[in-house]
């Protein structure tokens, strides 16, 4: 169980690192992402997905 946890921590660190690099390259600040997460808070996944349909 500890090995699984450590593997997930390792992969999550890689994911977050690469996301931060991509954000920096695009001029996106962590606050922009936090604002988007706050906007989504309390919405169901189905509601959020439905709201994206009209934006394509």
- Percent of the chain clearing pLDDT 70 (strictly above): 91
- Percent of the chain clearing pLDDT 90 (strictly above): 55
Q: Which two tokens stand for residue 6?
A: 């450590």
Give how far the C-alpha of residue 50 lies from the chain's centroid of Cα atoms, to the nearest Å: 18
Q: Which range of residues forms the domain containing residue 44?
A: 2-53
CA angle 37, 52, 47 (to 5 degrees): 70
Q: How many independent structural domains does the chain possess?
A: 1
Residue with the two structure tokens 């394509």: 56
Mean pLDDT score of the chain? 88
Backbone angles phi, psi at 2, to 5 degrees: -65, -35
Q: Are 30 and 23 in contact (CB under 8 A)?
A: yes
pLDDT of 56 higher than 70: no
Q: How many CB atoms lie within 10 A of CB 28?
A: 14
């Amino acid at each position: 169980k500890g090995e699984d946890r450590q593997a997930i921590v390792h992969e999550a660190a890689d994911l977050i690192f690469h996301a931060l690099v991509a954000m920096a390259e695009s001029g996106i600040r962590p606050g922009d992402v936090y604002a988007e997460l706050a906007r989504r808070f309390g919405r169901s996944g189905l509601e959020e997905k439905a709201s994206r349909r009209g934006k394509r």
